[in-house]
Structures are given as C-alpha cells and as structure tokens.
Amino acid sequence: MELLIVGTLEGQIGAASKIAVQQGGQVTLADTIEHGLDVLRSGKSIELVMIDVKLDVYKFISSLEQERINVLVVACGVANDPSLAVKAIKAGAKEYIPLPPDAELIGAVLAAATRESHALIYGDKKTESILKMAKQIAPSEANILLTGESGTGKEIFSRFVHDNSKRANKKFVAVNCAAIPETLLESELFGYEKGAFTGAVARRIGKFEEASDGTLLLDEISEMDIKIQAKLLRAIQEKEIDRIGGKSPIKVNTRIIATSNRNLDEAVKNGTFRQDLYYRLNVVNINIPPLRERMDDVMVLAKHFAKKYSELNDIPLKPISKKAEQKLLNYRWPGNVRELENTIHRAVLLSTGEEIDENAIILDDLSAVISQQAEETQNFSGNTLANMERNLIIDTLKHTMGNRTIAANILGISIRTLRNKLKQYQDEGLDI
C-alpha cells in the first residue's frame, strides 16, 4: 500500500516510515498540510494518511471533504497530550497512534486500511483452473468482469491478471465503488479542474488518468450510480474522459477489471445497471466460487495466515491441530477467505498451547445467527413490518461489528440500499 506521512512527527518520521515499509508500505513524506494535499491532488495512489497531531487535523480533513478526496486518515503524536488525540479523532481521524511508533500497532492500522498481501495461495483444483484461465486472457486488452460472493478474493485475482498482463510494469489502481459515496465517486474516477465546484481549490487527477497505460479495478461496480455509469461507458468506448469542470476531453488508455458480488443480469433487468455498459465490461467473465466449494484451499490458506500473523505479532509459529483442522473443514465459511483470515488471526493471538487447538478456532456463523433472529422477530406481535426490518438491519450490523459490506451480503441487499436505510434511521433520530 502507499502511505502519506504529513508533518515532522517530532523526529519520529524515520522510525514510522521504516516500520511502514517493513509492513509492506511505500511511503511519501509531506512536511505541511498544503504539501500533503498537493500529493493527493496529483493522482498518486495514497491509501492511508498519517498526520502529525500538532498540525491542524480539522483543516486537513475539511479540505479533503471539500475537495472530494476520499482517503483514510490517522493521527500520530507523542503520547504526553491526550487532549490533542481526542481533538484529532473529533476532527475526523479514524485512529490515533502514539509515538514513538509501535510496530504491532502500525501493522494493525495498515492491515485495517488495506489488504497487505496480494499473494495467491491455493490448493484446490477449481482455483487452479480459474488461475489458468485468468493467465490465458491476461495478456489481452479485453475488459474483465470478476464475479463471486463477498470475501472470495476478487481483488487478489484482479491483481493476478494485471501482474500477468502486458501492463504489469504500469500502475494498478483500485476503486471500491461501494465504499465511496455517490457524490464523491465521479470526482474520484474522473478528477476535476480548479473552480469546478466549491472547495475545488486546485486541479485533481482522477483514477482513470492515474491508471492510464495500466489497469483500473472497479470493485463492486454494481453499486455505481446509473448517472456515473453513463460517463464510465463513454470513457471505455471513446478512451477519453472529461474532468469535472474541464473544457476538453483527455485521452486515456486504461484497462478495466470490474468485480461484483451481485447478479448483474438481474441488475440490468431491474434498470439499476446499464445493459450497454454490462456488455462492454463482460467481455470475459471469471466466476470465483465460494470457499465452501473449494475446500482444498482451506488448510493451505489457514497455514499461510497462521504464518503471516505469527510473524506480524512476533509470536512463534504453531502447527494447527487435527481437531482444529477438522473444525475448519466442517464449517461453511459464509464470509469466505476474508472470514477465514480473521479466524486464523484471532486463533494465533488466543492460542496458549504448543499448537493451535480447536478452542482457539472461534467461528461465528453469522448467516445462522441472522436467520434465527429473523424467526424471533417474526414472533413479535404488534410490530410493524418497518420496525421488524429496522431491528433486523441493526442487529445484523452489530453481529458484523459494523461491517456494512458483510451485513448487506447477509441481508441480501445492496450496500447502497443499506446505506440509504441507515440514513433514513438517522433522520428519524436513531443513533447509528
């Protein structure tokens, strides 16, 4: 991942940068807020910003919002003034890291901000067959649509395609269409000119230009607003884009890989996804089966994650016991590879013996929990359908620890629908 450090961090920049690099990050330094904003406007693929808590964090985050720049921000500083940390969090920073930097803490923040490893680990014949197909079509210029449930590893497969393409030495840029609000996604993709809107104090390069000659991953494209789909279609057909507020089109040479965990055929029928765009993207479709249909991947991945998180947390690597292995193989993995990774990370931390035993493998079958809750909710007499729906959505979010993507997947609704429901509940005075 690419990390931007803003400020001097009281001489701790060297140590923080070194730890970030050791955790797989690439670091850019900016000594002032304005310098940091210039870096972000330039189109550089920054995924995480660490800002000195003694700088005006509120001004920095307000500028990001005004200029429609979507990036995760954490504050850093010496731990002798907790009021500054509280002020930074209130200003919108997602986390506070005390200095001198702690390797484990920085590693955890980086892991939360992005998937650190892009290695494709597998042991199942189905996965091998998919990779063979992906490698065959990778050198072409065809757009590719990757489909499959949430958590199956679609982004990692897309990086595999890029790494085996003729564009491998060029940029791979990823945009999560579900995570970025509709009002910001157009700016994120196409950029804008100075003065295009209130807050556009300088030109910003969009992801299409940044990925020109390389690959642009449009993750969860089914969540993209229909109006932006029209601009995307033109960009693909004409190989040119218009910055917001721009006076002339800009030529781009960008290969598109799109992913979706929803049925795009149904979305086309429902009128929420353009049929012509679907045809442009679906030149080659690669469907990635859920983990429960490629069970020979489970233990290969489990051992990989055990090694990864043992090293990350400086814990001696332990073997996975036979009973723990059986427990992993008997589970259906509704959250797929992402859930498996979290399960093994937790097991590495909780294991107390000489091996990772079955007691350290804590499984939360969220699908079963929600199904049970749905049955219980239906028994509440006097409840309106709207109240039952609201209770089910809120309870699902609690069980997914606030992860909206997983919650939407369990509920069988789009992330956009979930976001609209939560906004409605907030407008009604509910504390979300």
| pLDDT tens for each residue of 188-215 | 999 999 999 888 889 999 999 999 999 9
Same domain membership, residue 267 and residue 151: yes
Domain end point (choices 338, 360, 382): 360
With contact defined as beta carbons under 8 Å apart, do 396 and 370 qualify? Answer: yes
Q: Among 390, 363, 69, which Cα is nearest to 203's?
A: 69
Same domain membership, residue 134 and residue 23: no
Q: Which pLDDT score is estimated for 23?
A: 59
Domain end point (choices 231, 264, 287): 287
Q: Which pLDDT score is estimated for 110?
A: 58
With contact defined as beta carbons under 8 Å apart, do 185 and 224 qualify? Answer: yes
Same domain membership, residue 278 and residue 130: yes
Segment (H or E) for 159: helix 154-163
416 inside domain: yes
Burial of 62 (0-12, 13-18, 19+ CB in 10 A): middle
Same domain membership, residue 68 and residue 16: yes
Distance between CA atoms of residues 104 and 96, nearest Å: 14
Same domain membership, residue 267 and residue 173: yes
Same domain membership, residue 242 and residue 310: no
Look up tokens 């079963």; give the residue. Answer: 368
336 inside domain: yes
Residue 257 bridge partners (DSSP): 144, 217
87 inside domain: yes
Q: Among 353, 415, 425, which Cα is nearest to 386's?
A: 425
pLDDT, one tens digit per residue, over 226-280 is: 999 999 999 999 999 999 999 999 999 999 999 998 889 999 999 999 999 999 9
Domain end point (choices 360, 390, 417): 360
Same domain membership, residue 387 and residue 261: no
118 inside domain: no
Number of neighbours of residue 320 by Cβ within 10 angstroms: 22
199 inside domain: yes
Q: Which pLDDT score is estimated for 367?
A: 46
Domain CATH number, residue 225: 3.40.50.300
For residue 411, give the 3-state DSSP assignment.
Answer: helix
Q: Which pLDDT score is estimated for 275?
A: 96
pTM greater than 0.85 (yes/no): no
Which stretches in the chain have pLDDT values below 70? Answer: 1, 9-25, 79-81, 100-119, 364-385, 399-401, 406, 409-410, 412
Give the burial string for 125-149 (b: 16+ CB within 10 Å, else e).
eebeebbeebeeebeeeebbbbbbb
Sheet holding 96-99, edge to edge: 26-30, 2-6, 48-52, 72-78, 96-99
Residue 390, C-beta contacts closer than 8 angstroms, at least 6 positions apart? 421, 425, 430
The dihedrals phi and psi of 300, each to the nearest 5 degrees, come to -60, -45
Number of neighbours of residue 322 by Cβ within 10 angstroms: 11
Distance between CA atoms of residues 23 and 31, nearest Å: 22
For residue 208, give the 3-state DSSP assignment.
Answer: helix
Percent of the chain scored above 90 by pLDDT?
Answer: 48
With contact defined as beta carbons under 8 Å apart, do 191 and 244 qualify? Answer: yes
Same domain membership, residue 283 and residue 406: no
84 inside domain: yes
Same domain membership, residue 221 and residue 87: no
Domain that includes residue 20, residue range: 2-113
Same domain membership, residue 101 and residue 31: yes
Same domain membership, residue 273 and residue 159: yes
Residue 260 bridge partners (DSSP): 147
Q: Which pLDDT score is estimated for 160?
A: 93
Over its C-alpha atoms, the chain yields an Rg (Å, rounded) of 23
Segment (H or E) for 135: helix 125-137
